[in-house]
Copies of this chain bind each other. A is one copy, B any other.
């Protein structure tokens, strides 16, 4: 009980170039919004911020869904809120998994009492639509859950065909877009996605702390037709929708700075233009890939299946994974990520997202990496 010593100074965050799987660096105006003086959760200004976020977010997600907003928490909270608002004990759920985040969808669904049919593919490859289809045969499914950009492996899952599969099964298509939104097209409506969640701290270029999400009218109907209430009072999206409505009903104290930062991040995205933004991410990726290959490094995922803005790079034989990452962090203040789960120690994860998806970031990464590899 004597942790406090008089005279302690405020802690100061180091300045990092964030080139891992997230968080990514944010624009100065986004950080300023995040640090703005708080206002009340029912202040007309704050309500106008929430109202301004909704259409901007819809555009980024490619949807016209009424239920589109960000709730307090992280991407993990967003996943929970979507699954928990839709699933009931005994519901059949088809989960495709080729990595940590696919596995997480299965675990979270199981904890909610759903009957999960898990189709596991190889880590580093995308899911095969046929494997999903045959695993579901003869079973009743309420939802088909897949990960758009599998952060643990660097694989971008093709979504075409998924909504047809969900339709065949009479199920909702639920997509984890945590590492895709803002950096590559999500196209929620065009791809027939019924429920989607993401985070703020990757492609959207915002600090962590909110989970943007969206549900189609069909998904909202399913939520409203539940036999039992949503088990989580805090994450019931019906209650969140009540707070985001024209006459807001109190549910929680909305973090005004975080929402203002999200607004500013979305404003910058639209100022840049979505097409230009995706192009910038693709160009940064190409520059990084060329440089990594020059350094003799290999990518885990072939080009056609790769998340352009999150590269899984094989740790070369005989190289100490952690030592290289430590060198980059300590000498260059650059963060890259290590592997997760079965890829721990085997890959580095290098993210070129939001403010990080720029030639100068790529060049700094390649320079630092070259030196770190030499000294390892």
Contacts and interface: CB of A to CB of B under 8 A. Distances in A.
B64 A73 contact: no
Contact of A80 (B18, B31, B232): B232
Given A35-B257, A73-B72, A208-B254, A40 B231 contact: no
A55 to B, nearest CB: 3
A104 B73 contact: no
A59 interface: yes
Interface in A89-132: 104, 107-108, 111-113
B37 A25 contact: yes
A57 to B, nearest CB: 9
A276 to B, nearest CB: 13
A139 interface: no
A38 to B, nearest CB: 4
Interface in A60-86: 64, 72-77, 79-80, 84
A3 B260 contact: no
Nearest to A108: B233
A16 B34 contact: no
Nearest to A22: B253
Interface string A13-45: 111101010111110010111111111110111
A291 B49 CA distance: 35
A375 interface: no
B38 A267 contact: no
B58 A37 contact: no
A270 B1 contact: no
Interface residues of A, number: 88
Contacts of A38: 13, 16, 18, 23-26, 201, 207-208
A328 to B, nearest CB: 12
Interface in A131-190: none
Contact of A234 (B26, B45, B77, B256): B77
Given A73-B73, A234-B76, A13 B35 contact: no
B79 A234 contact: yes
Interface in A3-19: 3-4, 6, 8, 10-16, 18
Given A4-B56, A10-B264, 9 more contacts: A11-B45, A23-B38, A73-B77, A104-B233, A108-B233, A111-B230, A199-B253, A208-B253, A255-B258
